[in-house]
C-alpha cells in the first residue's frame, strides 16, 4: 500500500483556489495540481507548468537538418552524370532538402513536446476526481506524506474549500 495520501479540495471561487495553491507552494508541498472549468489567470499564475516543447523543437531542428543532408547526399551517390557542366556537389539542392526537413522535424518536435508537457495522453484517472470540477467549481489536488495530511487539509479548508476529499 502506498504511503502517499491524496487530497482534493473543491472551491466555488477561483481566487480561493489560487490562494490555496500559492500557500501550498510556499509551504513546500511538491505535488500540487489545479483543475478549472475555464482558464483563470490567477490559477495559472499560482500553478505554473513549465513546458518542455522548446527542448523537443531544439533537438528536432538540427536532427532534421542533418537528416536532410544525409538523405540528399545518399540520393546522389552512384548517380553518373552524362555531361558534367558544373561540379556535381553544389550545396544548394542539399540545403533545400535539409531546411525543409529541419522545419518539418522541428514542428513535429514542438507538437510532441507540447503534448508531452500537457501530460497527454493521460494514463488513468487522477486518484481523486469530482464531476463538479468540469461544471462550475475549481479544484486543488495535492499529495503528501501521512504526517503532513492534517496540515494539508487545514490549509485547504482555511481558504474556503466547500469540500475536501481524501484518498
Contact 116, 122 (CB under 8 A): no
C-alpha dihedral, 39 to 21 to 127 to 13, nearest 10°? -50
pLDDT at 72: 85
- Give the distance between the most distant pair of CA atoms in the chain: 84
d(CA 158, CA 8): 14
pLDDT tens track for 102-117: 999 999 999 998 888 8
Q: Spell out the residues 6+ positions from residue 42 whose beta carbon is closer than 8 angstroms to its own.
A: 14, 15, 18
Query: Cell 463538479 appears where?
Result: 132
Q: Which three cell numbers stand for residue 113?
A: 513536446
Q: Is the CB of residue 68 less than 8 Å from the CB of residue 102? A: yes
pLDDT in tens, 43-84: 988 877 777 788 899 999 999 999 999 988 888 776 665 555
SS3 label, residue 10: strand
CA distance 96 to 101: 9
Q: Name the pTM for this structure.
A: 0.64
Q: In angstroms, rounded to a whole number, what is the distance separating the alpha carbons of residues 144 and 125?
A: 18
Instruction: List, in order of start, the domains of the chain with CATH numbers.
Output: 5-46+133-166 (3.30.70.120)
Amino acid at each position: 500500500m502506498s504511503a502517499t495520501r491524496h487530497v482534493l479540495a473543491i472551491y466555488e471561487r477561483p481566487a480561493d483556489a489560487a490562494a490555496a495553491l500559492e500557500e501550498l507552494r510556499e509551504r513546500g508541498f511538491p505535488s500540487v495540481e489545479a483543475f478549472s472549468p475555464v482558464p483563470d489567470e490567477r490559477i495559472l499564475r499560482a500553478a505554473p507548468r513549465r513546458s518542455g516543447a522548446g527542448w523537443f523543437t531544439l533537438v528536432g531542428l538540427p536532427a532534421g537538418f542533418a537528416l536532410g543532408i544525409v538523405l540528399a547526399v545518399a540520393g546522389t551517390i552512384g548517380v553518373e552524370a552524362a555531361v558534367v557542366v558544373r561540379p556535381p556537389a553544389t550545396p544548394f539542392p542539399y540545403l533545400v532538402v535539409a531546411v525543409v526537413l529541419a522545419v518539418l522535424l522541428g514542428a513535429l518536435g514542438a507538437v510532441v513536446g507540447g503534448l508531452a508537457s500537457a501530460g497527454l495522453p493521460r494514463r488513468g484517472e487522477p486518484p481523486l476526481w469530482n464531476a463538479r470540477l468540469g461544471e462550475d467549481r475549481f479544484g486543488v489536488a495535492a499529495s503528501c506524506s501521512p504526517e503532513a495530511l492534517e496540515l494539508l487539509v487545514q490549509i485547504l479548508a482555511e481558504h474556503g474549500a466547500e469540500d475536501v476529499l481524501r484518498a
